[in-house]
Structure 1
């Protein structure tokens, strides 16, 4: 894939979510393009990526609950 994810533009907490979204949109567009070129359907890609993201959020929630959050 080879996409580059930009670092945060600012150290301000209120701006980090927007910075992160902008950076992830670029990487997501490249991932989507690569997956489509490989023959996957857009709906398949969207569902699988949502599942992966959900699994990751649940994993982070468990870490937070056990006080091992990093």
Structure 2
């Protein structure tokens, strides 16, 4: 097994205010690039692309549920 080299994925700051409708599109553009870089890094490390995708979907789902619980508690 090759040693793991740390990878830094660059994510630019939003250029639009939170209430600007374009911010959602900007977020999708910025985060989709970072997401793809992350997937490619995981695949290069030896993980299979389908298992990376499914695991990330599970993690995202867990995160959304945690956000919902936090919002409900406030």
TM-score > 0.5, shorter chain as reference? yes
| Structure 2: tracts of 5 or more residues without a match | 1-6
Question: Structure 1 residue runs of 4+, over 4 Å off?
Answer: none
1:49 corresponds in structure 2 to 56
Aligned counterpart for 2:40 among listed residues 17, 33, 36: 33
What's the TM-score, normalizing by structure 2?
0.83
1:62 aligns with 2:69: yes
| Aligned match of 1:22 | 29
* TM-score scaled by length of structure 1: 0.88
Structure 1 residue 13, shift from structure 2 partner: 2.9
CA distance in 2, matches of 1:13, 1:44: 35
Q: Which has the higher helix share?
A: 1
**What runs of 5+ residues in structure 1 fail to find an aligned partner?**
none
How far off its partner does 1:56 sit? 0.2
CA RMSD of aligned residues (A): 1.0
